[in-house]
Chains A and B, each alone.
Chain A
Amino acid sequence: MNKNPETEIKFSDKFTEEDLKIRADFPLLNKYDMAYLDNAATSQKPECVLNEEKKFYEEYNANPLRGLYNLSEMATEKYESARVTVQKFINAASEREIIFTRNASESLNLLAYSLGDLLLNEGDEIAISIMEHHSNMLPWQHAAKRKGAVLKYIECDMQGNVTEEELESVITEKTKIVAFTQISNVFGRLNDMKRLAEICHRKGAVLVADGAQSVPHIPVDVRALDVDFLAFSGHKMFAPMGIGVLYGKEEYLEKMPPFLTGGEMIDSVTREGAVYAELPHKFEAGTVNAAGAAGLAEAIRYIEKIGFDKIEERENKLTAYALWEMGKISHVKVIGSEDPDEHHGIITFTVEGVHPHDVAYILSADNIAVRAGHHCAQPLMKHLGVMSTTRASFAFYNTMEEVDRFIESLKDLRRKMGYAE
């Protein structure tokens, strides 16, 4: 059923020269004898990123965008050049379209609030998929309540597949905003954003893409996809925690009201009100995370140095091997597609008769880190008819040897829980 990777994979090539070379870049991976398979939650950080963040504080630290002295200008320059690095990375038309936030959640909250204010009137509709992370669900539930709009759900099948008919029937002329994840954090499946954008635009809706799980793993070109907005987090793509991005088309950002107000985001303030700053600073109130932005820019340079070809090749190989081996273990059931290329390093599964928290705990006793629970997607879990699941997720720095460790532990798991196998 699963693609047989044994024809393509030489099993002798475990912990290859390449593995060692890549892993040498990541201090934490060399600190512990642990298979870190929770990359969809957050990635590890390469030394160059850590150094870049440190360097900001050692050599550039002043409040950016404020001071009129040299050091502040250097800080500003560092921060703004990080913005250009992000802009080029996702092929946005202008750096005015890149807003720095704390994370994908903040980007999506900003949108639900500000875009919601701009576009939504009573009776209008918002459409989101049932597979959305809570961060791309709750903000829209709130926006709908606040504006008297109706929130509709786009359903998927058990493999995470969404049909064209479903999209065409839920997205209508009444729909003002569609929010959809590019890669699901449960299925790992890639949703066709270009096709979705066509449908949305034909019906007069704006498309918000959640790129939290896609941007770290595949090339994302916002202009080729024609998405109107894209939200993602630095910490899932080898950058520090606390820096995230919201991309938005200028035509919308210009018209949207500010989200947070305060310092930095104004041109002038009177007792009665304010003239807001130009894009993108209109949406960046208060002192920004300039060191985090510098770290994100370095993470992007690191990704570009490794190359998405290499990243995808390694992640797909690990996923294919893991899926193939998991397919041989009875009582293990993988959620989502049988095709490894439809997983993007994410394997969500259940073990019959063993609660996911027990699964994660037993794996952890063998020094394997995975995630267990509802993965911030409770409505999806309910839709799939499971209470919770376990998820192993790979990054390109994981190895075949780590997959072996995971499989060995998984094989023995039911016996450890008292089942006579």
Chain B
Amino acid sequence: MQNKTFYNEILTDHNLHPEHKHELENANFEMDGVNPSCGDEIRLKLRVDDGIITDGAYVGNGCAISQASADIMLDLIIGKTKEEAMRLSDIFLRMIKGNVTDEELEELEEASVLQDISHMPARVKCAVLGWHTMEEMFKEDKES
């Protein structure tokens, strides 16, 4: 029997003990994301001062991959500029498509544990939910 599962410790830990799953009172960026296939939903909130993401949080519910991925993303982008966050998001989304260099993978830190999800097309939408939501949020900001 094939017994390997994709749920390693980093993932389950972020799912069960998320650091950033809470409200954020002073947020100035906010966006909802939904993945209808799993019924995953998150509300992402960020505090951005002078182009730097100084704080971030999310609330929502859904499968472990969607929730853990959002938590891991926040770990990575808090303290970075908007542009830097968008660049990391681009790397992350390329990683999922299997198009990434080893150096880039390293930049993703813990988020790189989601690399193997590219073999599970049904779960890709879960993994990218938080990242897509962030991209949408910044894109919308640019347009307005």
Decide if A418 is an interface residue (CB 8 Å cutoff): yes
Q: How many residues of B contact A (CB 8 A)?
A: 22
Decide if A11 is an interface residue (CB 8 Å cutoff): no
Q: Tell me, in angstroms, the Cα distance from A175 to B81 when the chains sit together.
A: 63
Decide if A416 is an interface residue (CB 8 Å cutoff): yes
- B3, B38, B39: the one within 8 Å of A365 (CB): B3
Among listed A42-50, A295-303, A310-318, A355-363, interface-contacting one: A355-363
Q: Tell me, in angstroms, the Cα distance from A413 to B39 when the chains sit together.
A: 21
- A366, A405, A417: the one within 8 Å of B7 (CB): A417
For A354, the closest partner residue in chain B by CB is B64
Q: Tell me, in angstroms, the Cα distance from A374 to B1 when the chains sit together.
A: 28
Q: Tell me, in angstroms, the Cα distance from A362 to B65 when the chains sit together.
A: 12
* A393-421 to B contact mask, C-beta < 8 Å, 1/0: 00000000000010000000000111100
Q: Tell me, in angstroms, the Cα distance from A356 to B12 when the chains sit together.
A: 15
Most A CB atoms within 10 A — which of B4, B5, B15, B16? B5
Q: Which residues of A contact B13 (CB under 8 A)?
A: 418
Min distance, Cβ A408 to any Cβ of chain B, angstroms: 9
B16 touches A387 (CB 8 A): no
Min distance, Cβ A240 to any Cβ of chain B, angstroms: 25
Min distance, Cβ B26 to any Cβ of chain A, angstroms: 30
Q: How many residues of A contact B (CB 8 A)?
A: 21
Q: Tell me, in angstroms, the Cα distance from A157 to B15 when the chains sit together.
A: 33
Q: Tell me, in angstroms, the Cα distance from A365 to B123 when the chains sit together.
A: 14
A358 touches B64 (CB 8 A): yes
Q: Which residues of B contact A365 (CB under 8 A)?
A: 2-6
- B1, B5, B38: the one within 8 Å of A416 (CB): B5
Q: Tell me, in angstroms, the Cα distance from A373 to B63 when the chains sit together.
A: 11
Decide if A367 is an interface residue (CB 8 Å cutoff): yes
Q: Which residues of A contact B39 (CB under 8 A)?
A: 373-374, 387-388
* B85-121 to A contact mask, C-beta < 8 Å, 1/0: 0000000000000000000000000000000000010
Give the contacts of B117-140 with A (CB-CB under 8 A). 120, 123, 126
Q: Which residues of B contact A374 (CB under 8 A)?
A: 39
B63 touches A357 (CB 8 A): yes
Most B CB atoms within 10 A — which of A356, A374, A387? A387
Known: A354-B64, A365-B4. A418 touches B12 (CB 8 A): yes
B38 touches A355 (CB 8 A): yes
A418 touches B5 (CB 8 A): no
Decide if A33 is an interface residue (CB 8 Å cutoff): yes
For B14, the closest partner residue in chain A by CB is A418
Min distance, Cβ A106 to any Cβ of chain B, angstroms: 24
Decide if B9 is an interface residue (CB 8 Å cutoff): yes
B1 touches A366 (CB 8 A): yes
Q: Which residues of A contact B3 (CB under 8 A)?
A: 365-366
A387 touches B63 (CB 8 A): no
A367 touches B5 (CB 8 A): no
B2 touches A417 (CB 8 A): no
Q: Tell me, in angstroms, the Cα distance from A353 to B12 when the chains sit together.
A: 11
Known: A374-B39, A388-B39, A417-B16. A357 touches B126 (CB 8 A): yes
Q: Tell me, in angstroms, the Cα distance from A358 to B69 when the chains sit together.
A: 14
Q: Tell me, in angstroms, the Cα distance from A387 to B63 when the chains sit together.
A: 11
Binding site for B on A (CB under 8 A): 33, 353-358, 361-362, 365-367, 373-374, 387-388, 405, 416-419
Binding site for A on B (CB under 8 A): 1-7, 9, 12-13, 15-16, 38-39, 61-65, 120, 123, 126
Those 3 A-B pairs whose CB atoms lie nearest each other, nearest first: A418-B12, A355-B63, A357-B63
